[in-house]
Every structure is written in C-alpha cells, then in structure tokens.
Amino acid sequence: MRDFEEFLQANLPKAPSFHPHYEKALGEMLLAGGKRFRPALLIAAAVGIDPAAHRAAFAPALAIEMLHTYSLIHDDLPAMDNADFRRSHPTLHKTYDYVTAILVGDALNTHAFSVLAHADLSSAVRADLVAVLADNGGANAMVLGQALDCHFEGVKLTIAQLEFIHIHKTAKMIAASLKMGAIVAGADSGLQDRLYDLGLDLGLFFQIRDDIIDATGDEAAAGKPTHNDTAKNSYTNLLGVDGATDRLYSLGEKIKHSIADLPHRLPIALGEVLKEYLD
C-alpha cells in the first residue's frame, strides 16, 4: 500500500486561506494512518479481477478513505462517543475545537465525491462509483446505523437488531469497498453482488472482533480507547466474550469459503489483505 499512501499524500484536500489551522486539520486524521482497510479491499478487488486496474483504483480508494475518516471524526465527538484518541492520535476536537472537527468531517464527506467526479475513469464508471459510495455511506446505510446505535444506547436490543445496526453502520461501507473495486475492474453485476455480500459478512466479522478487543484489549493494541462500550449494545455485552468469540469463528470460516470460491485472482489478492485476521 506504499504507492497508495504516496497518492493519498499527494492528493490531500487543500484549502489555502487565512484560517490558522483549518487546512492542516483537513489532512490530519488522514495522515494519522489507520489500517487503510477499506482502500486495501477496494484495490485488492480491482487487481484481483484485472491487474491493470491497480492505479485506476487509487482515486476511488482515496474517496472511500475520506468518507470513512469523516465518519470517525464525527463519531468521536462528545455528542457521540466522546473519544480522546483515534489512530493513536488525539481526536480533532481535542487538538482544536468542536467546530473544527465538525467542519473537517463535513469537508471530507463532500470532498470524497469530488475525488470520484474528477477520477480518470469513464463517466459511466464514475457515476456507478458515486452511487455506490453515496448509497452505502449515507442516509439509508452508515448514517442510519449510527443514528440507531446512538438512539438505543443503554437500551438492550436483540441480536437481530444489533446486526441490523452494524450491517448499516459498518458492513455496508466495507461491502461498498469491494463492489467499487469490482466496478473499476469492469466486473459484471453478478461478481459485484458476490463481493458485496462478502463485504457484509466481513463487516459483521470486524464489528464482532472490535467488540472483543474493546472488552478484552488495551489502548495500545486498538489505537483508540478501549472498555468504552459498556453502555452500548455490543456482541460481547449481549453474548459474552465466549459467545462473541464463537460467532466470530463461525463467520470467519464462512468468509474463508466465500473467498476461496471467487474467480480470477481474487482469492490471492483478498487473502493477502485478510490473512492476519482470518488465519
């Protein structure tokens, strides 16, 4: 992913003005790093279908990382998770102020679509990518999941309700990453749908994994505060750590089989991204 990191640094949003810190803040959480999981999945899906699509996948990968980073900035605000650290870095509202954090999140959200609109791809592909990112990052997906998660904090939900929240809040953006990579590589709708469904399973897998880390891990391992979800609906709170671990294992086995059945070089490309999590 080193070449993608170089692309990201060369294409950070810029807003030169007389504001004392707004432009620096625009790129701060992007440069803080993180797993780059969604860009890695998008690029792997593209090159697993067509190796020549490697560079073409960078702009969509940057767009999804920008939208994801906006969601983290807003998620960390005092009105939601009230977190002090993200990606082992102070959150923007702690470094600057609430206004800066809100506006930087707004800017990254909208700039993600500017990146797609100006990508060196056909107009039809750009339109498809915009639709997938908006559909999975917006009102009926990620934002809906976040709204439900915040509204029902402290109210015990069923497992089905919890999965509904996390399919929308987390899994749909991961599924969008795989589908967008397939679109860049010119895959047919059937393969796009298979990758999207795989992404939904991956999203639930990583949510359960994060819940287990939060319940049992430390801040150095997580790169953010842990033991922070005691009042929230989580798999560990509803199933216990052992029950959540069992569910994680069974979902991981399903994901392995789904990846192995994919065509082209997708099992190899996706296996490289996921090996540290699924092995």
Sign of the alpha-carbon torsion through 193, 198, 203, 208: positive
Would you state the structure tokens that stand for residue 34, as one six-digit string? 């993180």
CA distance 269 to 234: 31
| pLDDT-based confidence at residue 1 (cuts at 50, 70, 90) | confident
The dihedrals phi and psi of 217, each to the nearest 5 degrees, come to -95, -170
pLDDT tens digit sequence for 20-55: 999 999 999 999 989 999 999 999 999 999 999 999
Q: Which residues pair with 90 in a beta bridge?
A: 85
Closest CA to 60 of 202, 179, 237: 179
- Size of the chain, expressed as the number of residues it contains: 279
Whether the per-residue pLDDT at 16 is higher than 70: the answer is: yes
Q: Which of 144, 116, 118 is nearest to 130 (CA)?
A: 116
Q: What is the largest CA-CA distance in the chain?
A: 54
Tokens of 60: 């969509």
CB atoms within 10 A of CB 258: 17
pLDDT score, position 279: 80
Q: Which pLDDT score, from 0 to 100, does residue 230 have? A: 58
Pair 72, 86: CB distance under 8 Å:
yes
Residue 182: burial class (beta carbons within 10 Å; 0-12, 13-18, 19+) = buried
Task: Note the pLDDT tens digit of each residue in 207-217.
Answer: 999 999 999 98
Per-residue pLDDT of 47-103, as tens digits, reads 999 999 999 999 999 999 999 999 999 999 999 999 999 998 999 999 999 999 999
| Tens digits of residue pLDDT in 171-202 | 999 999 999 999 999 999 999 999 999 999 99
